[in-house]
């Protein structure tokens, strides 16, 4: 997988979730000229975290790295469009850590170092 990520870009898709079965999403990873990894994550039909069976305050996106463990890369906010009821979430960030996979958890707080809540989505 590391050789695939280092060549141009890679797209990973999220597996179907039993917790939020309507949610669909993907992550695009591209290595830039500075040897950083640009990440663009998109998820559609992800219900607000306070509507889950175990109500939470936020979704947090986690990165499984090649050599540096798990990293919190940010909060994923859910919003609906002006002319649409479709729930859409996006996150764009850059990291120096080489991505292996991604997962999203429902958490009480966003400024945590390790996942504490329930995993709602994982990449294949």
In the chain, count H helices and then E strands: 1, 9
The tens digit of pLDDT for each residue in 19-49 reads 999 999 999 999 999 999 999 999 999 999 9
State pTM to two decimals: 0.88
The answer to whether residue 8 scores a pLDDT higher than 80 is no
Contact (Cβ atoms closer than 8 angstroms) between residue 47 and residue 87: yes
Contact (Cβ atoms closer than 8 angstroms) between residue 88 and residue 42: yes
């Amino acid at each position: 997988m590391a050789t695939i990520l280092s060549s141009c870009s890679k797209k990973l898709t999220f597996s179907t979730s039993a917790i939020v079965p309507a949610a669909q999403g993907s992550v695009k990873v591209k290595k830039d000229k500075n040897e950083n990894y640009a990440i663009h994550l998109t998820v559609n039909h992800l219900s607000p975290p306070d509507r889950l069976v175990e109500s939470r305050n936020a979704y947090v996106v986690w990165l499984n790295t090649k050599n540096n463990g798990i990293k919190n890369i940010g909060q994923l906010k859910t919003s609906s469009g002006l002319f649409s009821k479709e729930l859409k979430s996006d996150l764009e960030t850059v990291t120096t850590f080489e991505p292996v996979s991604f997962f999203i958890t429902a958490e009480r707080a966003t400024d945590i170092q390790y996942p504490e809540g329930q995993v709602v989505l994982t990449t294949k």
